[in-house]
Amino acid sequence: MRLLRVELARMRMRRAVVLLVVACFAVPALVWMSTYWNTREVSQAEKDQAAVQLQRTLEDPQTQRPYERCLASPDKFGIAPGDDARTRCEDMLLPTIDSYLSRSPLSLEDEMVSSGPTVAVLLTLMLALIGTTFAGHDWNTGSLGNQLIFEPRRVRVWWAKALAVTIGGAAVGAASLLLYWGGLWLLANVRGIDVPHSVVADVTTHASRALLLAVGAALLAYALTMLFRNTVATLGVLFGINLLAPLLLSSSGINNAERWMPHVNFTAVLQGGTTYYNPDLSDCAGDICQESLSSTAALTYFAVALVVVVVVSVWSFRRRDVP
């Protein structure tokens, strides 16, 4: 515990880590501001302008001709004889004022598939940078050798740093997600939008999954940096995994290649499951080519990768010389 407190104090004193922590709050705040602006209430001036545009469109002969043909021959437009032809033709062929008011009201349920994944990805990136920066500083400055003079048990030192990254990342990530989703919930209440308890529960689950992914990324980045002893090498590996791996898998000819792509598994964990394109399915045609991927399978995918990297990193740190 004493060693853990020392590592947590060392983490707080790193200027690069402090800047990244600030970014963990600043970036979701910018996303929140964008959501606030894009879901703001429509003003009366905008409604009046939309009404003028609607009237011009309705008076346009190019709009009226299909509508008149529909009224004259409703059967050609798929309208049954017993239906109200005028109403059906208006619904199909004439615009409404909503067509000119593109903004949708705030919905936390919709945000879980729009801005929520964006916040989760950015937070994962920030915490991964914190993990690699924290370990990389010790290697770049050579201070790790001095630390081992006071605590020669290397495995204990490795795990103390790992726990500091995990605890610090979890605290920062939880606070960031709480402020973001809490801010959206507060905004919905200020605007008089009812948020059902079921949606609050879904948002909590979504945020918990985002936090799990972000903290796992921080620990993975830390373990890679302790293995490679270089921040740049870690960033290169993470860059290659996320950007080059999908390209290599797509061109490798491996069966069911998309199943192993990081972004597909990330989405499956975050959203509680997803579907992906698998042309290797028998009788593949149209939607049949879509295969389901559960969150449990995707979480296992990341857990296995994390365990392997951690084991190799601990083994390397224990066996190799430390300058």
Across the chain, how many H-helices and E-strands are there? 14, 2
Give the number of other Cβ atoms within 10 Å of residue 233's Cβ. Answer: 15
Is the pLDDT at 282 greater than 70? The verdict is no
The pLDDT, as a whole number, for residue 316 is 93
Residue 294: per-residue pLDDT:
94
- Predicted pLDDT of residue 3: 85
Does residue 34 have a pLDDT over 60?
yes
Q: Which residue has the higher pLDDT, 255 or 319?
A: 319
pLDDT classification of 45: cutoffs 50, 70, 90: confident
Mean pLDDT of 194-210: 95
Q: What is the pLDDT of residue 253?
A: 66
113-117, 156-160, 250-254, 281-285: least confidently modelled range: 281-285
What DSSP character marks residue 79?
A: -
Question: With 60 as the cut, is the pLDDT of residue 184 above it?
Answer: yes
pLDDT at 286 over 60: no
Q: Considering the chain, what percentage of its residues have pLDDT values greater than 90?
A: 50
Q: Which of 78-87, 171-180, 200-209 has the lowest mean pLDDT?
A: 78-87
Q: Place 115 in a pLDDT band, splitting at 50, 70 and 90.
A: very high
Q: Quickly state the pLDDT bin for 287 (edges 50, 70, 90).
A: low
User: Tokens 């979890």 — which residue?
Assistant: 170
Please check whether residue 322 is in contact with residue 144, taking contact to mean a CB–CB distance below 8 angstroms. Answer: yes
Q: How far apart are CA 109 and CA 175, in angstroms?
A: 21
Token digits for 253?
Answer: 């000819």
Q: What is the pLDDT of residues 120-169, one digit of tens each?
A: 999 999 999 999 999 998 888 888 887 777 888 889 999 999 999 999 99
Q: 180: which residues sit within 8 A by CB, 6+ positions away?
A: 28, 29, 31, 32, 119
Mean pLDDT value of segment 199-218: 97
Confidence of residue 209 (pLDDT cuts 50, 70, 90): very high
Q: What is the mean pLDDT of residues 17-35?
A: 95
Give the C-alpha separation, 220 to 199, whole Å: 31
**Structural contact between residues 226 and 317, judged by C-beta atoms closer than 8 angstroms:** yes
pLDDT for 284 equals 63
In the chain, the amino acid numbered 86 is R
Q: Which residue has the higher pLDDT, 47 or 300?
A: 300
Percent of the chain with pLDDT over 70: 96
